[in-house]
Chain A
Amino acid sequence: MSAGTHRRLSLWAGGNLSLRAREAWAGWLFVLPALLGLLLFMAVPFALAIGLSFTNLRLGSPLPTRFVGLENYTRLWEDEAFRRALLNNAMFATVVVPVQTALALGLAVLLNQKLRARAWFRAVFFMPVVFPMALIAVVWQLMYAEGASGLINGALAVLSSGAFEPRAWLRDPWLALPAIMVLSVWQGVGFQMVVLLAGLQAVPRTLYEAAHLDGASAWQRFRFVTLPQLRNALVFTALITTILAFRVFDQVHIMTRGGPNRATTTVMFEAVQAAYGRQQVGYAAAMTVVFFVCVLTIALVQRRLVREERETGA
Chain B
Amino acid sequence: MTAGARNRFGSMLLHGLAIALALVYAAPIVFMLVGSLKPNEAVLAEASSWRAFVPFGASLDNYAAVFRRVAFTRFLVNSVVITGSIVAAGLVINSMAAYAFARLRWPGRGLVLMGVLALLILPFEAIAVPLFYQVTLLGWRNTYAAQILPFVANPLSIYLFYAFFLGVPRELEEAARVDGASVPRIFVQIIVPNCRAVFATVAIVSFLFYWGFYLWPLMVTIGPAVRPLPVAIAEFQTMPPLQWGDIMAFGVMMVAPVLAFFLVFQRAFVEGVAATGLKE
Contact = CB atoms under 8 A, between A and B. Distances in A.
A210 interface: no
A130 B255 contact: yes
Interface residues of A, number: 105
Interface string B223-262: 0000001110110010000001001100100110011001
Interface string A231-245: 011001100100100
Contact of A127 (B52, B131, B259): B259
Contact of A23 (B104, B187, B231, B247): B104
Interface in A34-62: 34-38, 40-46, 48-49, 52, 57, 59
Contact of B48 (A119, A157, A186, A243): A157
Interface in B150-184: 150-153, 155, 158, 182-184
Contacts, number: 307
B125 A249 contact: yes
B126 A130 contact: no
A36 B153 contact: yes
B183 A30 contact: yes
Given A38-B116, A271-B129, A275-B129, A150 B277 contact: no
A132 B214 contact: yes
Contacts of B134: 41, 44-45, 48
Contacts of A128: 25, 28-29
Interface in A140-155: 140-143, 145, 148-151, 153-155
Chain A: interface secondary structure?
Answer: helix
Nearest to B126: A292
A83 to B, nearest CB: 19
Contacts of B270: 122-123, 126, 194
Contacts of B35: 142
Contacts of A122: 266, 270
Contact of B277 (A145, A191, A272): A191
B104 A26 contact: yes
Contacts of A313: none
Interface residues of B, number: 95
B96 A306 contact: no
A162 B233 CA distance: 34
A7 interface: no
A48 B116 CA distance: 18
Given A38-B116, A281-B133, A254 B234 contact: yes
B43 A295 contact: no
Interface of B: 11, 14-15, 17-18, 21-22, 25-26, 28-29, 31-32, 35, 43-45, 47-49, 52, 93-94, 96-97, 99-101, 104-107, 109, 112, 115-116, 119, 121-123, 125-134, 136, 149-153, 155, 158, 182-184, 187, 208, 211-212, 214-215, 218-219, 229-231, 233-234, 237, 244, 247-248, 251, 254-255, 258-259, 262-263, 266-267, 269-271, 273-274, 277-278, 280
Interface of A: 14, 20, 22-28, 30-31, 33-38, 40-46, 48-49, 52, 57, 59, 107, 110-111, 113-116, 119, 121-143, 145, 148-151, 153-155, 157, 186, 191-192, 194-195, 197-199, 232-233, 236-237, 240, 243, 247, 249-250, 253-254, 268, 271-272, 275-276, 281, 284-285, 287-289, 291-292, 295-296, 299, 306
